[in-house]
Amino acid sequence: MARISVFGIGYVGAVAAACLARDGHKVIAVDVDEDKVDLINRGQSPIVEEGLGALIAKGIDNDRLFATSDASFAIDQTDVSLVCVGTPSDPSGALDLTYIKEVSRQIGQEMREKETLHSVILRSTVLPGTSEDICIPLIERHSGKTAGRGFGFGYYPEFLREGSAIDDYDDAGLVVFGALDEATRNFLHMVNATQDCCLHEVGLRTAEMVKYTSNSWRATKVTFANEIGNISKACGLDGQEVMDVLCADHKVSMSPKFLRPGFAFGGSCLPKDIRALKHLADRTQTPTPLLSAVLDANDAQVARAERMVRDSGARHVGFVGISFKPGTDDLRESPLVELAARLVMQGITVSVFDPYVAQLAAQQDGDPFRNSKLPYLKQMLVQELPALVAATDALVIGNFYAETVEILGAASVTKPTIDLTRLRRDMVSTGTYEGICW
The answer to whether 335 and 301 are in contact (CB under 8 A) is yes
The answer to whether 1 and 21 are in contact (CB under 8 A) is no
Report the alpha-carbon distance of residue 436 to residue 316 in Å, rounded: 20
HSE value, Cβ hemisphere, 13 Å, CA-based, for 434: 17
Q: From the CA atom positions of the chain, what is the Rg in Å? A: 27
For 27, the 3-state DSSP assignment is strand
The answer to whether 340 and 316 are in contact (CB under 8 A) is no
HSE value, Cβ hemisphere, 13 Å, CA-based, for 143: 30
Q: Of 85, 82, 84, nearest to 74 (Cα)? A: 82
Report the alpha-carbon distance of residue 314 to residue 361 in Å, rounded: 27
Q: Dihedral sign, CA of 253, 260, 373, 307?
A: positive
The answer to whether 432 and 412 are in contact (CB under 8 A) is yes
Report the alpha-carbon distance of residue 12 to residue 158 in Å, rounded: 8
Is 247 marked active-site? Answer: no
Report the alpha-carbon distance of residue 354 to residue 382 in Å, rounded: 8
What torsion, rounded to 10 degrees, do the Cα atoms 94, 95, 101, 102 define? 120
The answer to whether 147 and 180 are in contact (CB under 8 A) is yes
> Which residues have CB under 8 Å from 7's CB, separation 6+?
13, 30, 31, 71, 74, 81, 82, 83, 84, 85, 103, 107
Among the options 197, 235, 247, 269, which is catalytic?
269
Report the alpha-carbon distance of residue 394 to residue 416 in Å, rounded: 5
Mutual orientation of helices 98-111 and 136-143 as an angle, nearest 10°?
A: 30
The answer to whether 435 and 429 are in contact (CB under 8 A) is yes
> Which residues have CB under 8 Å from 97's CB, separation 6+?
87, 126, 130, 134
Name the residues annotated as catalytic: 269
